[in-house]
Amino acid sequence: MKRAKILLNEETLNVTVNDAGQVVTEQGAVLEEGTFTWLPPCEGKAFVLAINYADHAAELSFNAPEEPLVFLKSSNTLIGHDQKTYQPDNIDYMHYECELVVVIGKEAKNVSLEDAMDYVGGYTVGNDYAIRDYLENYYRPNLRVKSRDTCTPIGPYIIDAADVPDPHNLMIRTYINGELKQEGSTKDLIFNVPYLVSYLSNIMTLTPGDMIFTGTPEGLAHVYPGDEVIVEVEGVGALKNTIISETEYVNSLAG
């Protein structure tokens, strides 16, 4: 099953997405695209992995880390499918990061590696934009790099874990204006899904709706206002959003 959240007539609704890609309400009504707004499909803590693909580590001239490099993001960064991410003025390098996102399905604390997959409720797609101009340390990205409003699209929906038989053999791709820019596979994860669930649950309690952004492979490129960016994970979904300027973003807030 594919589960999503939307905003319809100023009301937040839990909906499903059928095999034809149509949004269906709990009452069975099929909604037309454009009549509603996609929201982030989950709420919770957002754990984000830095340098969790060997090819990305090589791209940055780093050795693969010996343990997960994790930072947290707050909810202000999250936006839904088909929404807009603003680019700060006067920057030189802002790039996408296509990621498989693990969604926790039940409370997990001190979970063993062997039992870890039992706590995965589903998967979704994330795009963890980075403002590389302000990067001081790849291992600890600061707030200006990773925690801006609108900089983390996620969705469109959560697909049940049972519908993704092998999360460690999925193609990952990013397209800018229809052109393929990034391609990799989750088989190249340095720390896989059960390892991350176990590792994080031994640091703090994981609760339903918590998200683990598992990292991005090599193939990063700068984006510009007006670009349409689509990130997709095979068997999970495709997530679209558009880059806008800071001026356009500020004007949209003003009304």
What is the distance of C-alpha 235 from the center of its chain?
15
Is beta strand 23-24 parallel, antiparallel or unpaired with respect to 11-17? antiparallel
What's the CATH fold of domain 1-38?
SH3 type barrels. (2.30.30)
Give the separation between CA 85 and CA 148, rounded to whole angstroms. 9
Q: In which residue ranges of the chain is CATH 3.90.850.10 found?
A: 40-254
Cβ atoms 244, 229 nearer than 8 A: no
Is beta strand 37-39 parallel, antiparallel or unpaired with respect to 30-31? unpaired
Q: pLDDT-derived band of residue 131, with 50, 70 and 90 as boundaries?
A: very high
Cβ atoms 3, 157 nearer than 8 A: yes
Which burial class, exposed, middle or buried, applies to 185 when counting CB atoms under 10 A from its CB (0-12, 13-18, 19+)? middle
DSSP string covering 52-78: -BHHHHHHTT-PPPSS-EEEEE-GGGE
Cis peptide before 88 (omega within 30 of 0): no
Cβ atoms 128, 141 nearer than 8 A: no
From the list 118, 98, 124, the residue with the least C-alpha distance to 106 is: 118
pTM for this predicted structure: 0.95
What percent of the chain shows pLDDT beyond 90? 85
**Position 71 pLDDT exceeds 70:** yes
pLDDT of residue 57: 64
Give the separation between CA 154 and CA 137, rounded to whole angstroms. 25
**Position 255 pLDDT exceeds 70:** no
Q: In which residue ranges of the chain is CATH 2.30.30.370 found?
A: 1-38
pLDDT tens, 99-124?
Answer: 999 999 999 999 999 999 999 999 99
CATH superfamily of 40-254: Fumarylacetoacetase-like, C-terminal domain (3.90.850.10)
